[in-house]
Amino acid sequence: MSHDINPIARAIAAGAILGTLVLGTPAQAATGQATAIQTASVQKASPTRTSPSERVEARITALHAGLAITPAQEKQWNGVAQAMRDSAASIETIAGDRHQKVKTMTAVDDLRSYQTLSQAHADGMKKVVDAFSPLYDGMSDSQKKAADVLFRHHERHRAAAKKA
């Protein structure tokens, strides 16, 4: 098991998984938003370009635009955004601690640390899903379609990344 695969970047990316939905849709490409969204995605993959909190904020901003959040949906959206921020902050803290200790960890320490990181990701995703679900339920059909495309596109992107 190699620990040199930038664990902080991997953990932050995992913790902000909803944020990777900003990869773009055809409608966004037509309005010029795709470039900014793709830039945010590239920045996620290159952790030295921006801070984790800046990347999360960029994802939140891009998702807000990509999902065409209305003023009436703002309160629910703010809950989603806060859940994303909280998840990313939790994972960043745990990943930072893990990164500092990785050279002195025993195999059991390593597994426990990864378990803690995975649990933080799962807990964060539950909070994001719990916040996003009622927002999604109240979205217009076009907003739901955009969200559905963003989620599907995210899965294709992850599958392609695993093959590379």
**Degrees, nearest 5: CA angle 132-15-20:** 65
Q: Which helix (H) or strand (E) holds 71?
A: none
Tell me the per-residue pLDDT of 100-135, one tens digit each, with 9 for 90 and over.
999 999 999 999 999 999 999 999 999 999 999 999
59 secondary structure, DSSP code: H
Q: How do the domains of the chain map onto residue ranges? A: 7-163
- CA separation (Å) from 44 to 25, 55, 76, 143, 148? 18, 6, 25, 24, 21
What is residue 120's three-state secondary structure?
helix
What is the overall mean pLDDT for the chain? Answer: 76
Task: Name residues whose C-beta falls within 8 Å of residue 43's C-beta, 6 or more positions apart in sequence.
Answer: 49, 50, 55, 58
Q: Is 158 exposed, middle or buried (0-12, 13-18, 19+ CB in 10 A)?
A: exposed
**Position 155 confidence tier, pLDDT thresholds 50, 70, 90:** low
- What is the predicted pLDDT for the residue at 52? 80
pTM over 0.75: no
Over residues 32-54, mean pLDDT: 53
pLDDT at 158 > cutoff 70: no
- What is the predicted pLDDT for the residue at 152? 80
Over residues 25-51, mean pLDDT: 45
CA nearest 89: which of 115, 51, 63?
51
